[in-house]
Structure 1
Amino acid sequence: MSSPHSHSPAATSIAVTALSYAWPDGTGVFDGLQVAFGPGRAGLIGVNGSGKSTLLKLIAGELKPVEGTVRVSGEIGYLPQNVTLDTAFRVDEALGIAGIRTALHAIEAGDVREENFTVVGDDWDVEERASALLGELGLGHIDLDRTIGEVSGGESVLLRLAALLLRRPDVLLLDEPTNNLDLHARQRLYAAVDGWSGVMVVVSHDRELLDRVDQIADLRGGEVVWYGGNLSAYEEALAAEQEAAERMVRVAESDLKKQKRELADAQVKLARRKRYGQKMWDSKREPKIVMGARKRAAQVSAGKHRIMHEEKLTEAKERLDEAVEAVRDDDEIRVDLPYTAVPPGRSVLTLRELRLAYGARVDGEFELRGPERIALIGRNGAGKTTLLRTVAGELAAVEGEATPHVPLRFLPQRLDVLDDEATVAENVARFAPDATNNRIRARLARFLFKGARADQRAATLSGGERFRATLAALMLAEPAPQLLMLDEPTNNLDMASVRQLTSALESYEGALIVASHDLPFLESIGVTRWLLLEDGVLQDTPAP
């Protein structure tokens, strides 16, 4: 672990000083946060709800701090997590160069008014730069004069990124930029990140992206701790830290036991002394005044002795608490549920001559059997979500049939399964109306909603908690799902939540279909079959 960053004032591009921020309902996010970002690429990581996106918004000026200051040297470019573009916009408007192009074309047509030259400034090659940049980002097919129309989510992200890069900002803030990007688009974004020479702060759970940064800023408990190197180097350093922290817990536990033993031994000795003193008093072997003085001295000594051991015990407890605090809580979800198992060979899903809304299709017959684990991959806009929604019964097929043969559940990208006004326990009860409250709570504990956490309203949950609650509601539903379909499940999940999801899916014994662009995640869940949806057709494919 490196020491917290210390840049010279000239090199510091972002300086956050004594920053405090709370949500309108009074929930605190930061209290006196200090952090500085200098030249280079920093990966900002932390558990869901730790305030990563909020910090980027505060730096970008989209939110105002309650107290403290944010100073940024130079122009900021900010790519938010959820990008939406007006479909009526022309591409040059989305890129922010429409005014310059109009002035350029006017000058070329002979209009030499001063205001046209003022608008163009030094940007005479803006059209060439824009076209070249679109080509680099895989958007060469999109003409500058075209209206955006129904571009896919991934193309929206890349267009916004192109707009930022054209402005050449000094500081680039990226919030989960690879969400909704297909494998090809991700490679384009990685190349743009590799070629970036200014200041970059990127919030992401994407391993491949975070392995391209120069340093990791770990936001935890309202403070930032810096680690030199990329995500892999951070994980190695953290593992060593955690091993040392766990050793300290063992030492502190041993010390606590020793102090408890010593206190008990001291109490036994004091009790013996007290009995001996009483015996001497009763037998009146010494003058009363001598015995009285001895008794008072013994009481003072006993009091000091007891206080010393109690202080040592208190100190040992505090050391143990500190040691335990340093060990991260990486609880894992357990999903060893009855009735989800699917025997090998059992027919789970049949798709036959299927024509989907928006054009995709499944030719012939497709059969899913037994506890297969299928990765559904393909470019943005290929129809993966449409296929899953059709199988789930949310969309009608244009032709053909999609027939599930077992109970199934579908986890959508938007996580809109929960009722925001209901608690986590109440949401689960909606899916399992016959289950007792005790049974629901016992099951929820397996999804890390223990005690009062099960009584949180869904609206108050962080992204990772909401994901866990949604997964719990679907998995604990009755009848238990023997086919689970997940659409981009790792979007917006922090590293710990992705690990929890992976462990949950490892212990799930049913069939699985996962649509995702996150290759490391797909490899980690033991995919047995890869399906590619390309040019509107679903087909088996080798692992990428």
Structure 2
Amino acid sequence: MAHPTTAVLCTDLGFEWADGTVVLDGFHLAVGPGRTGLIGLNGAGKSTLLRLIAGELTPATGTVHISGEFGYLPQDLTLDTAQRVDEALGIRAAREALHAIESGDTDERHFTAIGEDWDVEERARATLDKLGLGRLDLDRTTGELSGGEAVLLQLAALLLRRPDVLLLDEPTNNLDRHARSLLYQAVESWPGVMVIVSHDRELLQHVDQIAELRDGTVTWYGGNFAAYERTVAAQQETAERLVRVAEADVQRQQRDLIEARTKLARSASYGKKRSVQRNDPKIFAGKFKRQAEETAGRVKGMHTDRLAEAKERLTAAEEAVRDDAEIRIDLPRTFVPPGRTVLHLDRVRLPYGAYADLELRGPERIALVGRNGAGKTTLLRTIAGELAPSAGEIGVPVPVRYLPQRLDLLDDGRSVAENVKAYAPGAGDNAIRARLARFQFRGARAEQLAGTLSGGERFRAALAALLLADPPPQLLLLDEPTNSLDLASVRQLTQALAGYQGALIVASHDVPFLRGIGITRWLELDGELRTVDTP
């Protein structure tokens, strides 16, 4: 039975996909009051867990209990484009009843439809305004909304319902910087229970506790994401110190065992020699030999047991150290001298009408920011040569590579190694494999088909293909690279870019990531391209 303060209770939960892949087995979770950030590596089962809690999936075993009403915002949100805004908000029937009563129709069914919600329109408009959607007409259809606006509209619908428990799955994925700030405020002011699956570090700064799903179990950390990082860093420092202590103990026990064996061998040789010199009777010689062997066995057993125990302690210490593989690469062929022109935009007019002037020299790192729909992707595609400008001149005198949001540059039917080789046809198979190993694609992983990769793995493979290309890029364009990446993958991307020595333009709303990769200039696209201060 759920504790009075438990809002969500999962007991002995089990779930597997149709192909037999086990996601959860004997899983337990108890979520209490406040805002909980649910984090974990890609593939850990976070979204699946949220779908199980929301009733979208049925567990094979176990139960899910939610105290009160719940609302759920899925990651892959689809809206009926013919639907009206008030219908998407779930208030159309109440509005129509309210208007009917105002027109003099006193039918009982109108009062039933309204219930106690006489200020439904005022609340709806206030909620929309709070989320930056105040311009929306309640009678218009949702067909003209952007992806980010659709997310905010669905969130507004949930806030209007005022559920006891709110479940959000990657709510900031399609939101621009301004929309994200509005969502952060909504999360901060939420009075009920909230469970948020997210890789957005800024969003996770607004939670009360972190629940990390790892290897099928949840570990709880009090405080926001910054507190979580401090705790994990301290734990890892302790774990790594214990590994060093355990390694030293194993080496010491190995030395002791070798020394004991050497001493016993010498003692046995000396005893045999003395027995021969004394001309001991065979019966006594045999007795002495058995006694020596028994003593040797006990001594060897003692040291062997100590060594085995030391190895067990080492294994336990190593298991406590997180194995979120790091990327360490050196890409000297991407080097750009400081004064070299990398990109020149002269009054370039983009297909939708915005203008861009830009001179980029040397290994600068540019952050391209702006609202959704401002044309950031269009600008990157124009620089990459995928789109022609409506006017102006573009000069890109260095090799350029573009990584789109869709990651569709990989051939799903080919292996990771084959995809990378397609970008560097002159490189030998051994060279390709050696380079891929630095991107954590070792052995059989390099032969894995691109179509079977997880989101984080697919991004890493695509990035490897571009950075290892021939010729290597001296201008790299990245479009929202951290979308849908788990926190470990974002860290790996940051590490990979540390080895990149060329110029970089990154369109992103992820300010902590941008700061982490050493941005040198911030540009905002809003009708025209202009330099802005660091956020």
TM superposition score normalised by structure 2: 0.96
* Inter-partner Cα distance in structure 1 for 2:370 and 2:346: 20
Residues 44-59 of structure 1 aligned to structure 2 (within 5 Å): 44-59=38-53
Could you tell me which residue of structure 2 aligns to residue 122 of structure 1? 116
Question: Is 1:30 matched with 2:44?
Answer: no
* Inter-partner Cα distance in structure 1 for 2:207 and 2:510: 18
* Inter-partner Cα distance in structure 2 for 1:180 and 1:92: 22
TM superposition score normalised by structure 1: 0.94
Report the CA distance between 1:111 and its aligned residue: 3.2
Could you tell me which residue of structure 1 aligns to residue 419 of structure 2? 427
Report the CA distance between 1:281 and its aligned residue: 5.3
Report the CA distance between 1:441 and its aligned residue: 0.8
Pick one of 74, 80, 84 that aligns with 2:74.
Answer: 80
Could you tell me which residue of structure 2 aligns to residue 384 of structure 1? 376
Report the CA distance between 1:413 and its aligned residue: 1.4
Matched AA of 1:497: S
Residues 129-528 of structure 1 aligned to structure 2 (within 5 Å): 129-280=123-274, 282-283=276-277, 285-362=279-356, 365-528=357-520
Matched AA of 1:538: L
Could you tell me which residue of structure 2 aligns to residue 540 of structure 1? 531
Q: Deviations over 1:276-315 (max 9, x none)?
A: 3433554573232222222223223322322222222111
Residues 12-31 of structure 1 aligned to structure 2 (within 5 Å): 12-31=6-25
Check the 8 A contact 2:347/2:355 in 1, yes or no.
yes
Report the CA distance between 1:35 and its aligned residue: 1.2
> Bigger CA drift: 395-404 or 216-225?
395-404
Could you tell me which residue of structure 2 aligns to residue 4 of structure 1? none
Question: Is 1:109 matched with 2:103?
Answer: yes
* Inter-partner Cα distance in structure 1 for 2:81 and 2:391: 30
Matched AA of 2:23: V
SS where residue 358 of structure 1 aligns? coil
Quick one: structure 1 residues 401 and 61, their matched pair in 2 at CA, closer, same or farther if it must change by over 3 Å? Answer: farther
Report the CA distance between 1:422 and its aligned residue: 2.2
> Bigger CA drift: 289-298 or 141-150?
289-298
SS where residue 330 of structure 2 aligns? coil
* Inter-partner Cα distance in structure 2 for 1:205 and 1:15: 23
SS where residue 139 of structure 1 aligns? coil
* Inter-partner Cα distance in structure 1 for 2:97 and 2:302: 83
* Inter-partner Cα distance in structure 2 for 1:431 and 1:220: 35
Matched AA of 2:375: G
Q: Deviations over 1:111-152 (max 9, x none)?
A: 333333332222222111110000011110111111123322
- Deviant stretches of 4+, over 4 Å: 280-284
Report the CA distance between 1:330 and its aligned residue: 4.3
> Bigger CA drift: 86-95 or 281-290?
281-290
Q: Deviations over 1:83-133 (max 9, x none)?
A: 232322221122122222223223333333333333222222211111000
Check the 8 A contact 2:254/2:307 in 1, yes or no.
yes
* Inter-partner Cα distance in structure 2 for 1:58 and 1:473: 36
* Inter-partner Cα distance in structure 1 for 2:354 and 2:79: 25
Report the CA distance between 1:450 and its aligned residue: 1.9
* Inter-partner Cα distance in structure 2 for 1:396 and 1:82: 32
CA RMSD of aligned residues (A): 1.9
* Inter-partner Cα distance in structure 2 for 1:101 and 1:430: 59
* Inter-partner Cα distance in structure 1 for 2:448 and 2:102: 63
Unaligned runs of 5+ in 1: 1-6
SS where residue 339 of structure 2 aligns? coil
Quick one: structure 1 residues 89 and 355, their matched pair in 2 at CA, closer, same or farther if it must change by over 3 Å? Answer: farther
